[in-house]
Amino acid sequence: MNEQHASHGLVQWHGTTIIGVKKNGRTVIAGDGQVSMGNTVMKPNARKVRRIGAAGEDGLGKVIAGFAGATADAFTLFERLERKLEQHRGQLMRAAVELAKDWRTDKYLRNLEALMIVADAETMLILTGNGDVLEPEGGIAAIGSGGNYALAAAKALDPYEDDPEKIARRAMQVAAEVCVFTNDRVTLEEI
């Protein structure tokens, strides 16, 4: 999952697909399970989407997140984002901006190779190591090597489907059919 190339200043990760869909008061983030090293599948069932943050009344974290990039780096970022959420009383936008500042300026964090899609009940964001905190237009975001395929599929489905989970699952299916670094073992979280 560490192979990368720069395209128009953005880092593109090979080895995963993550999609976020926000529609009708629901937000889902879905990701495939394939971990690749070069052209070899190292693990087919990795969990790249998870709940983070303090548990709510339902016992579940109030933020969902998915990552593309180096696994150990992503876990470090998940932990850092959880700490920022605690510091800023669960305010995702504030926590994300503070994490992005640290990510861009901290000597250790600057070397982390990952992208993230994070969401709570109100907001969905893409976080990058360039210090970007991007709110996707139209409530659909995708990252990773199959991200553009999933994004195109989700945008095509959006006018015809009201269920964000169905959009995300179909978009992941399309990405898995086209991207050799993406498989059909989908993990999905909803908020």
Q: What is the Cα–Cα distance from 72 to 57, expressed in whole angstroms?
A: 30
Other Cβ atoms within 10 Å of 6 Cβ, number: 8
State the DSSP H helix or E strand holding residue 111, giving kind and residue range, or none if neither. Answer: none
Measure Cα distances from 173 to 65, 116, 168, 183 in Å.
20, 20, 9, 8
Q: What is the Cα–Cα distance from 116 to 11, expressed in whole angstroms?
A: 12
Q: Look at residues 33, 36, 40 and name the one whose alpha carbon lies nearest to residue 17.
A: 33
Which entry of 16, 27, 71, 182 is annotated as an active-site residue? Answer: 16
Q: Is 105 annotated in the active site? A: no
Enumerate long-range contacts of 84-89, CB under 8 Å, 24 or more apart. Answer: 85/52, 85/53, 85/54, 86/53, 86/54
Question: 188 with 169: CB under 8 angstroms?
Answer: yes
Other Cβ atoms within 10 Å of 145 Cβ, number: 24
Q: Would you name the residues annotated as active-site residues?
A: 16
